[in-house]
Chain A
Amino acid sequence: METFEADYSKYDFKNSTDYDVTFEKGLSEDVVKRISKLKGEPDWMLEFRLNAFKFFMKRPVPQWGGDLSKIDFNDLTYYLKPIKDRAKAWDELPKEIKDTYDKLGIPEAEKKFLSGVEVMYESESVYSSVKKELEDLGVIFCDTDTALKKYPELVKKYIGRVISQNDNKFAALNSAVWSGGSFIYVPKGVKVPMPLQAYFRINAESMGQFERTLIIADEGADVTYIEGCSSPIYSKNSLHAAVVEIIAHKNSHVKYITIQNWSSDVYNLVTKRAFAYQNAYVEWIDANTGALLTEKYPSVYMLEPGAKANILSVALANRNQHQDTGAKAIHLAPDTSSTIRSKSICLNGGRTSYRGLVKVGKGATGVKTSTKCDALILDKESRTDTYPYMEISEEDATVSHEASVGKIGDEQLLYLESRGIPEQEAINMIVLGFMGEFIKELPLEFAVEFNRLITLNMEGAVG
């Protein structure tokens, strides 16, 4: 396993950043007020935060999923501002921050195949850009703080509409102390040709990152958003508690792709939900590697006829990692359809759990929904479970559920070896093949990166 830790080096580098603003550890109403004041927010947002803080304090730590008992909310830093002013060009960034993103390959990717980029370092966005043609069409892509300043009406209209401050303990926490995140608005009929990308980076130790992402696709709009996340390894735990809300209006299409690769000391507790209106199509492509514990179940609420959801959840749990992931498809209108696919791999004692909910509400007739969960378990120490929940209130719903747990077959290994491929590479090929369905959904550059991540994790999987 040393090999794995060593090869994590692309992500595991720390910078000694001189922060512009640093909060002491711990959470209180005062911390919430100071964050809001520092950002110069309108009163309604302060209210929003303070309300959320009350909910957070009232709600117990959830018991149903992974082990959250070791999170010490008073041993986290809730706000760290890296630089005074956001950069408009990569060169304006302080060297150590620019280096971070260079190492991760973001500026390079921007040049080649992205419509816009947004990067966040600790609590704040540090760089943001969107192609001029798109700006001219009225596309907004910036960090959520900037959106609150420049487009307060839009933010006020939509924030918390999909995920209320009281939705769950971590959504409440996010609502109280949120900072950064992406804001996207695509006007009626505009189709964004290339993906918009955000990259979230935790650099400091015992950091809480609480980005808030809000994506609004107006009627007939089309947008693909990609988010990458990473952090270096510390011995103390960090917390990533994000909230992502998507509003997909009539006939729109939103595709949201995440590849998360947190270090194995991060609690990754994220609430992601979309509202899909008439004939809208929402896709969550969600891959989780790394992290001590992930709890994440991207959801689509199909609120009007013809809405569609496609959720692909991918998890890889290596040593000391627990990926509790899944999906929710909530059918609340007739003729809505959903597909859920889950692919998980566990090795070296890692644990994956699929947790999903398929709900067909009263009056939602003609629903079609299918769920398929495939788990691959690489050794005896590892564990995988499925917890599929169903609440079906209309009899004519077409509901299917399939689950499989597989091992890498000795015969598959021998077959590849008998073509001259060494065992380790044969394992990689089989694992990547298993993930093939997911990899196909990614733009090429991300597919390459994801292959690399998987391959790194597989090192030392033999023997």
Chain B
Amino acid sequence: MVDELLVKDLDVSVNGIRILDGVSLDINTGEVHVLMGPNGSGKSTLSNTIIGNPKYKVERGKILFNGKDLLKMKPDERVKEGIFMSFQEPVEIPGVSIFNLMRTAYLKSGGSTSELSAFRSRVSSLMSQLGFQESFMNRSVNEGFSGGEKKRFEVLQMMVLKPRMAILDEVDSGLDIDTLKIIGSMVKEASKSMGMLIITHYDRILEYVKPDFVHIMKDGRIVSTGGMEIVSEIKEKGYNYYK
């Protein structure tokens, strides 16, 4: 089955200030979309709005997933539909262990208690692929994580939750080359079975995941859409070139 995330003419404001202005996107299973743009252009605002962060107020437009109105749903209900978002700056939650989070998320997504041990070994194996020790499971969510650990943990959760549509917000920022390689190949693997929106500043991750569409956002608007050629265009001319 092909899943479709449709964002249509979206206007979004925060604290009464308009941030997004008529944003439209159409992402289908198997497609990789890349969203680039200068700092403060509204990329994270878009991803937060898709997941349902209540701080972001939708003034106009629609977000539909397979025709269902996501704007009517709470964040956890959107997740049940198959949406995943990785946070640009994941928050610390003291005392809540990684395993507790994963287990609860698994059970909430319809996982059964009787298969919990199989689930656990799946998590373990993904963890080792991402370079985590087993003891990582007992750490508190994001507490005292290095930048790289935070990003790898976001990817781990995507792999564990198996969404149908993933929005990855700067999952490649601040990574050393080895970590980038691990994350890049995992994201590539995952992109085959879901729709994906990758928000990034760099073309480094695009060596691993080949985008079908590249969008450029400026001042809350998508100002250009195309293929890989746009990435080299930005490299050459900078964002100022786009109006």
Residues of A within 8 A of B (CB): 409-412, 414-423, 425, 429-430, 432-437
Indicate if the CB atoms of B75 and A433 lie closer than 8 Å: no
B95 touches A433 (CB 8 A): yes
Given A429-B96, A429-B100, A433-B95, A421 and B108 touching (CB < 8 A)?
A: yes
The answer to whether B51 touches A418 (Cβ under 8 A) is yes
B91→A412 contact, CB < 8 A: yes
Q: Is B192 an interface residue (CB 8 A)?
A: no
Chain A facing B: main interface SS: helix
Q: Are A417 and B76 in contact (CB under 8 A)?
A: yes
Cβ-defined contact, B95 with A418, below 8 A:
no
Query: Nearest Cβ distance between residue B223 and chain A, in whole angstroms?
Result: 28
Chain B, residues 65-81, CB within 8 Å of chain A (1/0): the string is: 00000000011100110
Q: A411-B91, A422-B108, A433-B140 are in contact. Are A417 and B74 (CB under 8 A)?
A: yes
Q: Mark B87-125, 1 if CB is under 8 A from A, else 0.
A: 100110111100011001100110000000000000000
What are 9 residue pairs bridging A and B, where the CB atoms are less than 8 Å apart in the complex?
A412-B93, A415-B91, A419-B157, A420-B76, A421-B104, A421-B105, A425-B104, A429-B96, A434-B95
Name which of B76, B87, B109 has the most chain A CB atoms within 10 A of its CB.
Answer: B76
Additional A-B contacts beyond A414-B54, A420-B109 (19; CB < 8 A): A414-B53, A415-B87, A417-B75, A417-B76, A419-B101, A419-B104, A419-B161, A420-B76, A420-B80, A420-B161, A421-B76, A421-B105, A422-B74, A425-B108, A429-B100, A430-B93, A430-B96, A432-B95, A433-B94
A429 proximity list for chain B (CB < 8 A): 93, 96, 100-101, 104
Known: A422-B74, A429-B100. A415 touches B93 (CB 8 A): yes
Tell whether A414 pairs with B75 under 8 Å between CB atoms, given A420-B105, A425-B104, A433-B140.
Answer: yes
B35: interface (CB < 8 Å): no
**Chain B contacts of A411 at CB under 8 A?**
91
Q: A410-B55, A418-B79, A421-B108 are in contact. Are A436 and B94 (CB under 8 A)?
A: yes
Chain B: interface size category: 20 to 34
* Cβ B74 vs Cβ A437 within 8 A: no
B65 to chain A, nearest CB (A): 15
Cα separation A433 to B141 with both chains bound (whole Å): 10
Q: A411-B91, A419-B157, A422-B76 are in contact. Are A433 and B105 (CB under 8 A)?
A: no
Q: Flag whether B34 is at the interface (Cβ < 8 A).
A: no
Interface centre among A414, A423, A430, A432 (most CB of B within 10 A): A414
Contacts of A432 in B (CB 8 A): 95-96
- Cα separation A415 to B161 with both chains bound (whole Å): 14
Using Cβ atoms and an 8 Å threshold, which residues of chain A touch B101?
Answer: 416, 419, 421, 429
Residue of A nearest to B93 (CB): A412
Q: Kindly list chain A residues whose C-beta atoms are within 8 Å of the C-beta of B104.
A: 419, 421, 425, 429
Chain A hits for B80, CB < 8 A: 420
B75 CB, nearest partner CB in chain A, Å? 4
Q: Which of B53, B87, B91 has the most CB of A within 10 A?
A: B91
Residue pair A423, B76 in contact (C-beta under 8 Å): yes
Nearest-neighbour CB distance to chain B for A450, whole angstroms, equals: 13
Closest 10 CB pairs of A and B: A433-B95, A436-B95, A420-B79, A433-B96, A417-B75, A419-B105, A411-B91, A420-B108, A417-B76, A422-B76
A438 CB, nearest partner CB in chain B, Å: 10
